[in-house]
Chains A and B, each alone.
Chain A
Amino acid sequence: MTKIFSNSRDAQRYRAAFLLSLPALIGLILFHYWPIADTFRLSFTDYKVFTGEFTFTGLKNYDIALNDPILFLSLKNTALFFLIKVPVQMALGLCLALLIAKPGRDSTLLRTLILFPAVTSMVVASIVWGMMFHSDIGIVNGVLESFGIPAQGFLRDKHQALPVLASITIWKDVGLSMIFYLAGLLAIPGEYYEAARIDGAGRWQLFRHITLPLLNRTHVFVLVTSTIAAFKIFVPVEVLTGGGPSNATRVIVHYIFHLAFRFNRFSYATALSVILAILLIAISIFQLRITRDGDDD
C-alpha cells in the first residue's frame, strides 16, 4: 500500500519537475544548441542573396578563410588588443582590490565609484570616452595642451586607436576584476600573514609569497574571463572607429558582423564564427592548463 502511494508520489514529482524544467529546456534547445549546430552546418554552405538558399559547398568557406588577408589582420589586431588590455586590467584590478581591501567608508565609496562603469552600457562608455578623446574637441587634448603637450590624434591615429579602445574597455571592465580580486583577498586567512610577520617578513614579501600565490585561482578566473571578453571586442569599434583608421582597429567580431549583416555573406561569416568559437575554447583550455601546471610547483 505504502509502496504504491510512494510510487504515485514519485510519478507526480517527476511530472512536476519535468514541467518546471520544460521552458528552460525549450529555450536551451531553440536558442543555444540549435544555433550552435546550425552555425556549424551553415559554414559548409554557400548563401545566395537573391534566392535566399544555402547550398552545400564543403570546405570552400574555410579555404577562403585561409587566404583572407583581412581575417588574419583582424585576428592580429584582436590578439594585439588582448595583449594590451588583459595584463593592464588584471594588474589594475588587483591594485584597486588591495587599495580598498581595508574596510571603511572611503573603501566603500571608491568601490561603488569604480563599479559605475560596469553598470553603464558599453555604447555610452564608448561615446563619452570617444568624445573625451576626440582629437579636435576632446577634453583629454584640452588637458594635455594646458600642460604644454601637443594635441594627439587618438582615434584618428593608426598607432593610438587600438590602445585608446583598450583603455576605454579597461575603464569599463576593471571594476569586476577588482571585485573578484577583492573576494579572493578576503578569503585568505589572516593567520598566514601573522605567522609570516612573526618570521620577520616585510610587506613586499607578504605580498610576493602569500597574497600572490594564494590568489592563484582568482588569477586564473580573471585571466580566462577577461581574455574571452577581449577577443569579443565589438561595441567601441562599431561606435567609434568602424575598423579604421586604415584597418588599425579591424577586429574579428566586427569583421564577422559586417560580413553577415552589411554584406549578406552569411555562410562565410558562419565559417569565421566557427573559427572564433574554436579559438576561444582553445585559448581557455590552454590558459587553464598552463596555470594548472604552475599550480603543481
Chain B
Amino acid sequence: MMTEARVLSPPASVRRFSFASLSRVALYLVIVVVFATPYLWIAGSTFKTRQDLFDDLYPVSLKTFLPSKPTTENLVELFTETNFAQAVLNSVVVATMSVTFAVTINSMIAFVLAWLKFPGRRLLFLVILATLTIAFEAKLIPLFLTMQQLRIDNTLPSIFLPWITDAFIIFLLRQHFAELPQDLYDAAIIDGCSFFRMYWQVMLPNIVPALVSAAFIKFIFSWDSFIWPSIVITDESKTVITVALAKLFSDEYIRWELVFAGSFVATIPVVIIFVFLQRYYVQGFVRSGLK
C-alpha cells in the first residue's frame, strides 16, 4: 500500500514545478512587489541621510530600500525641529476620544434598537441608516459653520465630535446585539435586572469582538481623516498627523527625508497593530457589508 502510494506520488510532485505553478509564483511575486515596495521604501528611506537617499535612487537596487549606514537623525529632526510630535499627539488624542465615545454612544442606541420593542423602531433604524446615503463631503460647509457658531472651531473636540454618531457602527452593533439569544434576556429579566444593567452587564460583554471591530475601524477612520481637520483647524499647534504630513510635502523646498520619516511614523505603528487585529477589521466590514 505504502509503496504503491509512493509510486503514484511522483507525478504530483513533478507537477509542482510545472508552468502553472511557476506562473503562480510569478504572480505572487508581482503582488508582493506592488504591495510591499512602498512600505519598504518608506522604512528604508527613513533611516538614510538625505544624501544617501538621493544617491541610492538610481539605479534601483536593493540599496534603494536598505540603508547602508542606518541613522535616526531624520526622526530626531522631525520630532525636534518641526511640530510633528505635537501633530502625532493630537492625532492620538483625537483617535482615542473618537473611538471611546463612538463605541459607547453607538452601542447604547444599537442595544435599544435591538432589544426594546417600541412602535416605530424599524422606522428609526431606517432613518439612521439613511444618513449613510449622504456623502459627508456634501455637508462640510454647514458643519464648519455650526462649529463656528458653537465657538468650538479650531479645537481638538471639533475634529472628532461630528463623527462620533456613526450609522455604520450602529448597524454593525445592532446586528450583533440582535443575534444574542432571547434566553439571555429572559433570564436577566427574571433576576430583576434593570434595562441599563441589561445593556452594560449582560449584553455588552457578549459582543466584545464586534466592539473591537467597531473600535478599530473607527480608529483607522480617525487616523486617516484629512479633509475635515484641514478645514476646521487653522492653529498649527492643533494640527493632526495627516495635515502635518501634507504640509511637509507641499513646502516650497521639500525635505524629502522628513517626508519619509513622517510617513513612517504615520504608517508603521498602524500596520503593526493591524497585523494583530486584522481578523476584527475584516469581520467588521464583511458582517456589515453583506447583510
Contacts and interface: CB of A to CB of B under 8 A. Distances in A.
Contacts of A116: 35, 39, 271, 274
A180 B241 CA distance: 30
A127 B138 CA distance: 25
B18 interface: no
A59 interface: no
A201 interface: no
Given A218-B290, A261-B231, A121 B242 contact: yes
Interface in B196-213: 196, 199
B66 interface: no
A256 B245 CA distance: 23
A121 B225 CA distance: 8
A106 to B, nearest CB: 7
Given A124-B245, A142-B59, A24 B106 contact: yes
Contacts of A114: 31, 35
B22 interface: no
Given A123-B226, A180-B286, A239 B246 contact: yes
Interface in A92-124: 96, 99, 106, 110, 112-124
B266 to A, nearest CB: 5
A27 B143 contact: no
B289 A221 contact: yes
A185 to B, nearest CB: 12
A21 B120 CA distance: 14
Contacts of A122: 224, 226, 242
B35 A270 contact: no
Interface string B97-135: 000000001101101100010100000000010010111
B146 A24 contact: no
Contacts of B245: 123-124, 127
B60 A24 contact: no
Size category, B interface: 35 or more
B146 to A, nearest CB: 7
A21 B266 contact: no
Contact of A276 (B137, B145, B164, B256): B137
Interface of A: 12-14, 16-17, 19-21, 23-25, 27-28, 30-36, 38-39, 42, 96, 99, 106, 110, 112-125, 127-132, 137, 139, 142-143, 145-146, 171, 176, 179-180, 183-184, 187, 217-218, 221, 225, 228, 231-232, 234-235, 238-239, 253, 256-257, 260-261, 266, 269-270, 273-274, 276-277, 280-281, 284
28 contacts: A20-B112, A31-B146, A31-B162, A32-B139, A32-B167, A38-B145, A39-B138, A39-B139, A42-B142, A110-B31, A112-B274, A113-B31, A116-B274, A119-B220, A119-B271, A121-B267, A123-B242, A124-B266, A132-B37, A142-B57, A142-B64, A171-B34, A176-B285, A225-B289, A228-B135, A274-B138, A280-B135, A281-B134
Given A20-B112, A116-B274, 10 more contacts: A113-B36, A123-B266, A124-B242, A128-B42, A129-B38, A139-B41, A171-B35, A176-B285, A261-B231, A273-B137
Interface of B: 27-28, 31-32, 34-39, 41-42, 54, 57-60, 64, 105-106, 108-109, 111-112, 116, 118, 128, 131, 133-135, 137-146, 161-165, 167, 170, 194-196, 199, 220, 223-224, 226-227, 231, 241-242, 245-246, 249-250, 256, 259, 263, 266-267, 270-271, 274-275, 278, 281-282, 285-286, 289-290
